[in-house]
């Protein structure tokens, strides 16, 4: 969906805050839509009340379950931000350094440098799903759609609930006119994050287009 592709540029770079458009970006990255503004107390206990004994996997399981059940978009947005924060934090300090350097390179428009760093990150830490997702975005910026889709598939193999990866995959597939595959991707994102309006809109639009082709 073209408007999804153009809403934001690498929202994941702004850790812990709302995504924002970056007008200097050389090309828009397919990325999830801007989080809706939340009420001051919406979802405020998402991380503060987490059990310190919980593992990362347990915490993600709990947050994804809450995201799936959340009816209110504002509360869901807060939960989604918590999920993004956790997914973006590797266990290794060295991996965190590589990720931070790649983020800075992307912000500066140095996509080639970012790709080199993300190549190293995915090679050294192949189980870190977010590394593959970041490289997919960088590859898309380099107009390597095939490579981007391959990295998105690696992301989803490691974390099937990565709704941003599903949204990005759907956007790229729709851009490539692979509408039925795009619909499947958007439906997956909508199932994981039912309150995500852009996913609902994309599903509705693609179903209408596909029905018109029958």
What pLDDT does 189 receive? Answer: 98
Please answer whether residues 158 and 127 qualify as being in contact, where contact means their C-beta atoms are separated by less than 8 angstroms: yes
Which tens digit of pLDDT belongs to each residue from 79-133? 999 999 999 999 999 999 999 999 999 999 999 999 999 999 999 999 999 999 9
Looking up tokens 């390179």 gives: 105
How far is it, in rounded angstroms, from Cα 98 to Cα 154? 19
Residue 37 has pLDDT above 60, yes or no: no
Please answer whether residues 35 and 20 qualify as being in contact, where contact means their C-beta atoms are separated by less than 8 angstroms: no
Which tens digit of pLDDT belongs to each residue from 143-180? 999 999 999 999 999 999 999 999 999 999 999 999 99
Residue 72 has pLDDT above 50, yes or no: yes
What pLDDT does 54 receive? Answer: 75
Looking up tokens 């300090």 gives: 93
- Mention every residue, 6+ apart, whose C-beta is less than 8 A from residue 101: 117
Least confident of 34-38, 125-129, 140-144: 34-38
What pLDDT does 120 receive? Answer: 98
What pLDDT does 66 receive? Answer: 98
Residue 10 has pLDDT above 80, yes or no: no
Q: Look at residues 170, 165, 156, 157 and name the one whose alpha carbon lies nearest to residue 200.
A: 170
Three-state DSSP at 21 gives coil
Least confident of 1-5, 51-55, 188-192: 1-5
Q: Mean pLDDT, the chain, as a whole number?
A: 83
What pLDDT does 213 receive? Answer: 84
What pLDDT does 16 receive? Answer: 32
What pLDDT does 175 receive? Answer: 96
User: Domains of the chain, with CATH numbers?
Assistant: 2-34+56-213 (1.25.40.10)
Residue 63 has pLDDT above 80, yes or no: yes
Which tens digit of pLDDT belongs to each residue from 173-184? 999 999 999 999
How far is it, in rounded angstroms, from Cα 186 to Cα 170? 6
What pLDDT does 11 receive? Answer: 53
Least confident of 47-61, 64-78, 136-150, 179-193: 47-61
């Amino acid at each position: 969906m073209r408007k999804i592709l153009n809403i934001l540029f690498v929202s994941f770079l702004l850790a812990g805050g709302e995504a924002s458009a970056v007008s200097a970006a050389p090309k828009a990255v397919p990325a999830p839509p801007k989080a809706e503004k939340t009420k001051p107390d919406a979802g405020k206990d998402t991380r503060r009340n987490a059990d310190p004994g919980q593992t990362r996997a347990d915490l993600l399981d709990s947050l994804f379950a809450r995201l799936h059940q959340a009816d209110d978009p504002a509360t869901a947005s807060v939960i989604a931000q918590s999920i993004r924060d956790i997914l973006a934090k590797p266990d290794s300090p060295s991996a965190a350094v590589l990720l931070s350097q790649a983020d800075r390179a992307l912000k500066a428009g140095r996509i080639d440098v970012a790709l080199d760093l993300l190549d190293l990150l995915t090679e050294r830490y192949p189980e870190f799903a977010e590394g593959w997702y970041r490289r997919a975005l960088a590859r898309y910026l380099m107009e390597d759609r095939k490579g981007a889709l391959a990295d998105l598939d690696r992301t989803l193999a490691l974390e099937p609930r990565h709704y941003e990866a599903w949204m990005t995959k759907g956007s790229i597939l729709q851009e490539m006119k692979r509408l039925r595959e795009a619909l499947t991707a958007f439906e997956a994102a909508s199932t994981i994050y039912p309150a995500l309006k852009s996913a609902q809109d994309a599903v509705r639009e693609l179903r209408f287009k596909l029905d018109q082709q029958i």
